[in-house]
Every structure is written in C-alpha cells, then in structure tokens.
C-alpha cells in the first residue's frame, strides 16, 4: 500500500481512495494526528471532531467498497465554526455561543455529509465573523503557517491556516466583506466567494445577511471547483438561493486565459499597497497578457471608493438586528444574578460579546435609529445600488476584473488590534464585491518579503466557472499554489 501523502490535494486523495490505495479511515486517522500536532502552533480549530470524523470515514469506506465515486467521499475537511453542526457545539468564536450545541446541520454541512466528506473539526474565526485577523476570536488567535508571529487573516483564519499548513486539503469559510478571500491571500491558498444566492445560508450564524456567502478554500482550482459544486444550489430553507442548476465548475478548465477580457481598475493599484504587492500583481497581469488575455486598464468603478463606508453602515445595521436574538434566554450563554429580566439580559450581552461585536452593534443601532436612518442607512443603500450598477456596466465588456486581494501581506499579531480603521482597510478590495453580490476568487500570486500575495479575480453574477477557469490556468502556469509554508510540523 502506498504511504498516505498528507500534502496531497482532495482530488488526489479521492483517486487513491477509489483505487483502494488506502482507506478513508486510515486517511482520517493520519489527518487527525497531523492536525493535532499542528494545533499548539496554529490554534486553527475551536473544536476537533474526532468521533464524527471516524464515523464518517467508516461510512465513506462502505461507499467506496461498493464502488461509489464522488469527489469528496472520504476526503477530510474543516468547517468554519459559524456553521451549525448537529450535536457538535457551534460557537461563532464567541463566549455568547460557547455552550451552544445545535440540533440540526446547516444545509452546507448536510450536503458535505451526504457527499461523504469527513469533518475533522470546527475552525477558528473572528467573533461572529467580524474581523480580518482572527484575533477577535474568544478562543485565542490563529497563527499564520508562513510566520507564526503573523495573523492568517480573517475572519475565516482557522479554515485558511489549516489548509495552508497541509492539515486538511479543503475547508469551508464565509465571506461577508472578504473573510474567505483575504485569509486565502494571506495564507497562500485559493478561496472563493460565490455569487450572492449561489450557496445556502441556512444554519449559518447570521452576521450581515444581505452580504454573506459560504464558500470553499483549497490548494488548487480543481479542489475549489469540486467543493463548490457540492455545496452550491437552491435550498428550500433559504429563500435567497437562486433557482438555478449547478454547472460543472471544471468544464472550462482546458480553455486557458486566451481571449478573456480583463479590466484592471488603476484606482485599486494606486491605493498605498504594501511593499512587493503591486510588483507581484503586475507580474500576474503580465502572465495573463502573455497568454492572450486582453488587459484593459481604462476600466473604472468610481463609487467603489465609497464601498468601505457603505459596508460599515449596512453590515453593522444588519448585525445589530441579527444579534438581538442573544438575550440569555434562547441561546447559549446566560447570566443570572437575581436582577430584573432587563438587568440579566444586559449583563448577558455585556459579558457574552467581545469589544468588536459591541462596536458593531452600537454603530448599527445608531445608523438605524429614528432621525439618523435616512442620513446613514438609507443613503448607504442608495450608494450600494450605484456600486452594483457600476459593476454591471464594467462587466458589459469585460469577463473579469483583476485587483490585489488585500493591500498588504500578513501583518503581525497585535499590529492593528487597537486601530479599527486600519483593520477595516484590509478589505478595501474585497468589500465592493459583497456590495455588488458578485463572485470572486483569490489565487496565490507570488511572495512579497517571503509572505504570500493574493490575486483577486471578480466575475459576473453566477459565472464562477470563468473565475475558476482563469484561476486554474494561472495557477498551473505559475505554480505559486504549490509552495509549502515552513513554519508548522509535518506530522
């Protein structure tokens, strides 16, 4: 029997499992051992789910022996601890939900289970997915496998770090303003935010419902495409899912970059990029051009510059409503000290939520209050519409828009903690995409000062296939996605 190579991609594992080279059980055991060995350095998980993983692996082995094939049967995966898992606590990275054990699975979790995936654990995140560094987790920060003194990005930092460290080949994140793409960039892997409405949000702990989507992380485009194919599609439990069939997202993989019309908005490249980031992106653009893509640097998205302001009104407004449910009565943490109902409720919220979450609730409550609603929330919604229309106009004669994923590479732990605005600026390039509801992917595009840089490709609504075609072609030509971080133990 060949040795299990834990650095393999999901599709490589799937082929070995089908061929009977090793069992799903053996793969699960080896994966759990590596993940456990890496945890002291990374803290990528809030909860490891060994029992669930081994039971799923045994079930996968039965299916494999019966000759079933599928891209995820027996393949290990990590799930951001924002998605409900039946019988497994789901914390959202918050003290507020520390004791919360859901009695149902999120639709995405149920689909992964039905597809035969093996859930290794619930990955660390910023509290309620609010943040860009995973430092706002109530369970301690995750560390970047490229440099353990640096952040992995966020909010899906645990999901990104464990894939980058070769703990698991695949993981699931969520992206409200960049939380899949930015950690993918900072950890040197691929991460895709699907079109709004492409993937069910049922069973995902809500932050800003009109902006967020669940999406895949992986180490090559094929894995990301296959995982998206499993989780995407309409869901009768989420009325915002689009009633559209799910295509084969690898269908255009042979087509290369030739003929793609790529808009490069100069405004994004002039925005104070960190050392080496602009150079890496220019080199990526040169690869696209050499391979026959048509680069257009005249495209502009004038209102995208207002996207951050729009986001920090709309997202906190929705958060203030969504988080009103945590009152110490219905879910999770509850504080009683014999006070009045109101006093206990206030204490529960005061002690249960961290500082960034409180900041968002206050911002949102303010923006929605009488007298300020028109001036802030309504105006933000109007600008949101303008930003969406500008994207639509740009996509009338472009197939892709290309930017850096993040203005900088991974920053040091603690560096931006005391400056919320500096933290918010991380998402300068990713947030406009959530405002427009478009799909986008981050692909490894080289290194600056030894740290990964991400290339950000944005597409038309429901054209994830084009993003993946380009990501596959670019990654195959450059091989940046094959680089392995040095900082974590291998087994």
**Site residues, ligand GLN (CB under 6 A):** 129-132, 155, 175-179, 315, 427
Residue 427 beta carbon to ligand GLN: minimum distance, rounded to whole angstroms: 5
Q: How far is the CB of 360 from ligand GLN (least distance, A)?
A: 8
Determine whether 173 is exposed, middle or buried from the number of CB atoms within 10 Å of its CB (0-12, 13-18, 19+).
Answer: buried
> Computed from CA positions of residues 251, 256, 260, 266, in that sequence, does the dihedral angle turn out positive or negative?
positive
Residue 383, exposed/middle/buried by CB under 10 A (0-12, 13-18, 19+)?
A: middle
Nearer to ligand GLN, 262 or 315 (CB): 315
Terminal alpha carbon distance of the chain? 19
b or e along 225-246 (b: 16 or more beta carbons within 10 Å of the residue's beta carbon)?
bbbbbbbbbbbeebeebeeeee
Residue among 276, 274, 375 at smallest CA distance from 317: 375
Q: How far is the CB of 176 from ligand GLN (least distance, A)?
A: 3
At its nearest, how many Å lie between ligand GLN and the CB of residue 62?
A: 37
Dihedral of CA 48/197/312/428: which sign?
positive
Instruction: Give 204 or 262: the residue with its C-beta nearer to ligand GLN.
Output: 204
Closest CA to 79 of 207, 182, 180, 209: 180
Is the separation of the CB atoms in 363 and 208 below 8 Å?
A: no
Q: Compute the distance between CA of residue 391 and CA of residue 393 in angstroms, rounded to an integer.
A: 5
Cα–Cα distance for residue pair 307/311, rounded to 1 Å: 6
DSSP state of 319: H
Q: Using CA atoms, how far apart are residues 143 and 491, in angstroms rounded to an integer?
A: 17
Query: Whose Cβ is closer to ligand GLN: residue 49's or residue 179's?
Result: 179
Q: For 91-237, where are the E strands, in sequence order?
A: 118-123, 170-175, 190-193, 213-218
Phi/psi at 296 (5° precision): -125, 110
> Quick one: 27 or 206, whose CB is closer to ligand GLN?
206
> Considering beta carbons, is residue 31 or 430 the nearer one to ligand GLN?
430
Say how many C-beta atoms besides its own lie within 10 A of residue 379's C-beta.
Answer: 15
**β-sheet bridge partners, residue 216:** 172
Please report how close the Cβ of residue 136 comes to ligand GLN at its closest, in angstroms. 8
CB of 37 vs ligand GLN, minimal distance in Å: 29
Active site residues: 80, 155, 179
- Nearest-CA neighbor of 427 among 43, 50, 130? 130
Backbone angles phi, psi at 122, to 5 degrees: -105, 120
- Judged by CB, which is closer to ligand GLN: 28, or 433? 433
Taking the least distance from each CB to ligand GLN, the nearer of 129 and 224 is: 129
Provide the minimum distance between the beta carbon of 174 and ligand GLN in the complex, in angstroms, as a whole number: 6
Q: How far is the CB of 108 from ligand GLN (least distance, A)?
A: 15
Sign for the CA dihedral angle at 246, 403, 170, 108 comes to: negative
Choose between 35 and 205: whose C-beta lies nearer to ligand GLN: 205
Residue 72 CB contacts under 8 Å (≥ 6 apart), including other chains: 10, 14, 112, 115, 116, 117, 170, 226, 227, 230
């Amino acid at each position: 029997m060949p040795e299990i190579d834990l650095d393999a991609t999901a599709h490589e594992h799937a082929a070995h499992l089908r061929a009977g080279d090793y069992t799903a059980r053996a793969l699960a055991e080896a994966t759990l051992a590596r993940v456990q060995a890496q945890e002291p350095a990374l803290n990528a998980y809030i909860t490891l789910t060994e029992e669930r993983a081994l039971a799923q692996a045994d079930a996968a082995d039965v299916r494999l022996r019966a000759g079933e094939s599928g891209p995820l049967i027996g393949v290990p995966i990590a799930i951001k601890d924002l998605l409900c898992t039946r019988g497994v606590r789901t914390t959202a990275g918050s003290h507020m939900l520390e004791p919360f054990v859901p009695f149902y699975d999120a639709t995405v979790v149920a689909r992964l289970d039905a597809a035969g995936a093996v859930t290794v654990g619930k990955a660390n995140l910023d509290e309620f997915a609010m943040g860009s560094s995973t430092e706002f987790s109530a369970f301690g920060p995750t560390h970047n496998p490229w440099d353990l003194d640096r952040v992995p990005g966020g909010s899906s930092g645990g999901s990104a770090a464990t894939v980058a460290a070769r703990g698991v080949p695949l993981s699931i994140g969520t992206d409200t303003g960049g939380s899949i793409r930015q950690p993918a960039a900072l950890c040197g892997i691929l991460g895709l935010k699907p079109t709004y409405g492409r993937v069910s949000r049922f069973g995902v702990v809500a932050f800003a419902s009109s902006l967020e989507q669940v999406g895949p992380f992986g180490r090559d485009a094929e894995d990301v495409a296959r995982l998206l194919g499993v989780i995407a599609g309409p869901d009768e439990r989420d009325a915002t899912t689009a009633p559209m069939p799910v295509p084969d997202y690898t269908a255009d993989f042979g087509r290369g970059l030739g003929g793609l019309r790529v808009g490069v908005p100069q405004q994004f490249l002039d925005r104070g990029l960190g050392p080496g980031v602009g150079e890496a992106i220019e080199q990526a653009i040169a690869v696209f051009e050499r391979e026959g893509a048509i680069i257009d640097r005249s495209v502009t998205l004038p209102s995208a510059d207002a996207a951050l302001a729009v986001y920090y009104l709309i997202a906190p407004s929705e958060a203030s409503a969504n988080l009103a449910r945590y009152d110490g009565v219905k879910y999770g943490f509850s504080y009683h000290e014999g006070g009045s109902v109101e006093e206990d409720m206030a204490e529960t919220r005061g002690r249960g939520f961290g500082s960034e979450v409180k900041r968002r609730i206050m911002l949102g409550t303010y923006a929605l209050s009488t007298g300020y609603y028109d001036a802030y929330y309504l105006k933000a919604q109007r600008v949101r519409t303008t930003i969406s229309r500008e994207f639509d106009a740009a996509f009338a004669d472009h197939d892709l828009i290309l930017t850096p994923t993040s203005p900088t590479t991974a920053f040091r732990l603690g560096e931006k903690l005391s400056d919320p605005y500096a933290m918010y600026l991380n998402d300068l390039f990713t947030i406009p995409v959530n405002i427009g509801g478009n799909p986008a992917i981050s692909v490894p595009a080289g290194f600056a000062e030894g740290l990964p840089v991400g290339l950000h490709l944005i597409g038309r609504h429901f054209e994830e296939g084009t993003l993946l075609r380009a990501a596959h072609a670019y990654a195959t030509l450059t091989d940046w996605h094959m680089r392995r971080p040095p900082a974590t133990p291998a087994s």
